[in-house]
Amino acid sequence: MIGLLSQGVLRFATSWLVGRIAGQAELGIVASAIAAATILALLWPTSTGSAASKFLARARGAESLDQARAIAAHLRRRMVTTLILLAVAAIPVWVMLDGGTVAGAFVVALLTVGYSGYSFTRGVQFGTGQIMRATGWDVLCVGLGLVALTLMLVSGVRGVALVLPLAVAYAVYAVAGWPFGDRGRPNRQERRELDGFVALGAVGSLASAGFLQLSQIAARIVSGDVGAGEYAAALALATPASMLAVSLTLVLLPTLSETLGRADDKAFRARTDHATRMLTVVVVPIFGGIALASRPIIQLIWGGAYAGAAPILLILSLAVLCTNLGVVAVNALTASSQQGMRINVGAGLGGMVIGTAVWLVAAPVLGGIGVALGYLCGTVVLAAVPVAVTWYRGQHRWTGLYLKVTAAFLVIVALHVAVSLTSLPAWLDAVAALVFVAQWVLINWADVERLPKPWQRF
């Protein structure tokens, strides 16, 4: 969590510094460049990191060091080829999206390569249990990126060049964690399993995480640079809290894979159940509170010029909440089998189709709000399918849990409608958010008591 929080700070601070110093239009350009690079990285590299996290951990569980080295070497070779192709592809993609120069496109290509390398090496380090090393490099690279960005902004640099600090920070991390010394070659069946996992994961990631980044590009298409800046401001506030779920993924996927490597199905079900309950207890008040307090949060962090981002933040907070609620189920299916992967991919594609359909109808009329609504509709499908399948397969007792989640959604919507219709001052939104969080904690006090308490470890 410390490592990913650092990366979340880097992404958010990049958006905040650009938005506050350079303005909404510049933020729209930078956010669109980051979205384009992220989507390209989802085509293979991010899933290669997930494959490293899963299969290296499984080899560790089976105590097969030679197999782990062969897996790392195979994935590394695939990554080198992919990085070259993506770097070349990024240039025409950005020129087409931005209508800009080739020089700007080269910057996006560098960011694509840096983020791709980061995603891969992070998966390798978590798969091999090198958590402390990964965290240390996270923190170091964040400091490097923020110092470089601040210097560029103060020097008057504008446009897509402002993503260079991100590209450099990710590239340094990738070089530091790259598995240079691993040797070997998995047998043909293992290579097919690895490549099949990555291919399915790429499609699934493109339909889930890629859908989120695509929404930023859609907002720019329908609203221009300024509208894209407002959307990026809301997105920058909605997504950092999801670092909790991402950090859980990085730890949970190798942990579940290791239990399967030991053929311990009972531990697999128990860890899935426990992680689901703990994550739900934490993320509902976080995102529910952000949704209800969207107006004062935007005013405090972004200022009055970004007031149009408040309703977008509310909708995106609910959408990201849905995504987070499905994280454990997605990981359980990913770790279990290729069939589980196909279910996740199908859910992601279905959600993307539904969300895109809503965009075609709502976005031309509502602008960024319509884009956010489409993303919300898609994420409901994307999260609900894996949860339902995992619930059924594991015979979990989650009825009461998800009834409480449904009630929480209804309360959030009801409180927002009540505050909006009565035209109450923005500070009362924060009061409503605090009341919601307090009620959720009281209702779920038994599970809150079971949450890990880091200070008890020292």
192-212 pLDDT, tens digit per residue, is 888 888 888 788 778 777 888
Q: How many domains does the chain have?
A: 2
What digits encode the pLDDT tens for the residues 246-274? Answer: 666 656 656 666 676 666 677 778 888 88
The answer to whether residue 32 is domain-embedded is: yes
Closest CA to 314 of 420, 402, 393: 420
- 149 and 43 co-located in one domain: yes
Ranking 15-29, 258-272, 313-327, 350-364 by mean pLDDT, the lowest is 258-272
The burial of 307, by beta-carbon neighbours within 10 Å (0-12 exposed, 13-18 middle, 19 or more buried), is given as middle
The long-range contacts involving 433-438, CB below 8 angstroms and separated by at least 24 positions, are 433/288, 433/289, 433/290, 433/291, 433/292, 433/293, 434/289, 436/285, 436/288, 436/289, 436/292, 436/408, 436/411, 436/412, 437/285, 437/288, 437/289
Average pLDDT over residues 218-223: 90
180 part of a folded domain:
yes
pLDDT at 151 over 70: yes
26 and 152 assigned to the same domain: yes
Residue 392 belongs to a domain: yes
Tokens of 121: 């090496």
DSSP state of 21: I
60-74, 155-169, 409-423, range with greatest mean pLDDT = 155-169
pLDDT > 90 in the chain, percent: 40
Task: Assess whether pLDDT exceeds 60 at residue 456.
Answer: no
What burial letters (b/e) apply to 242-252, b meaning 16+ CB within 10 Å? bbbbbbbbbeb
Question: What is the share, in percent, of the chain residues with pLDDT greater than 70?
Answer: 92
CA 165, CA 148: separation in Å to the nearest integer? 6
Average pLDDT over every residue of 157-178? 92
For residue 202, the one-letter residue type is A
Same domain for 291 and 200, yes or no, is no
Which of residues 155, 175, 207 is at a domain's end? 207
Find out whether 127 and 53 touch, Cβ atoms under 8 Å.
yes
pLDDT at residue 60 is higher than 70: yes
**Does 238 have pLDDT greater than 90?**
no
The residue range of the domain holding 243 is: 226-451
The larger pLDDT score, comparing residue 337 to residue 142, is at 142
Residue 276 within any structural domain of the chain: yes
pLDDT at 120 over 60: yes
Residues 256, 259: Cα–Cα separation, whole Å: 5
* Residues 386 and 207: beta-carbon distance below 8 Å: no
Are 117 and 240 within one domain?
no
Q: How far is CA 257 from CA 200, 344, 367, in A?
A: 17, 17, 42
Amino acid at 430: A
Q: Are residues 233 and 173 located together in one domain of the fold?
A: no
CA 394/CA 114 separation, integer angstroms: 39
Q: Which helix (H) or strand (E) holds 138?
A: helix 131-154
Say which DSSP state 159 is in: G
Q: 357 and 256, same structural domain?
A: yes
Specify the residue for token string 């910057």.
Answer: 107
Higher-confidence residue of 31 and 205: namely 31
Say yes or no: 264 and 192 in one domain.
Answer: no
The residues, any chain, with a CB within 8 Å of residue 136's CB and separated by 6 or more, are none
pLDDT value for 339:
84
Q: Are residues 195 and 254 in the same domain?
A: no
Question: Which tokens in the block code for residue 244?
Answer: 């909790």
Domain shared by 198 and 230, yes or no: no
Residue 458 lies in a domain: no
* DSSP code for 22: I
Residues 176 and 233 in one domain: no
Closest CA to 56 of 46, 66, 68, 64: 68
Do 333 and 238 fall into the same domain?
yes
Q: What number of other Cβ atoms are within 10 A of residue 73's Cβ?
A: 17
- The domain boundary residue, chosen from 141, 173, 207: 207
Q: Tell me, yes or no, whether 102 lies in a domain.
A: yes
Mean pLDDT of all residues belonging to the chain = 86
Structure tokens at 262: 């030991």
pLDDT of residue 128: 81
d(CA 168, CA 33): 15
In this prediction, residue 197 carries a pLDDT of 83
Of 160, 175, 207, the residue at which a domain comes to its end is 207
What is the reported pLDDT for 458?
Answer: 38
Please report whether residue 29 resides in a domain.
yes
Looking at the fold, whether 202 and 236 belong to one and the same domain comes out as no
What is the residue whose two structure tokens read 């009341």? 435
Q: What helix, strand, coil percent values describe the chain, rounded to 5?
A: 90, 0, 10
Tokens at 375, concatenated: 């993303």
44 with 198: CB under 8 angstroms? yes
With respect to residue 129, please indicate whether it lies within any of the assigned structural domains. yes
Task: Report how far apart, in Å, the C-alpha atoms of 383 and of each of 85, 202, 351 are.
Answer: 31, 17, 9
Phi, psi values for residue 229, rounded to 5°: -65, -40
Query: Cβ(185)–Cβ(172) under 8 Å?
Result: no
The predicted pLDDT at position 330 comes to 86
* Residue 381: φ, ψ to 5°: -70, -45
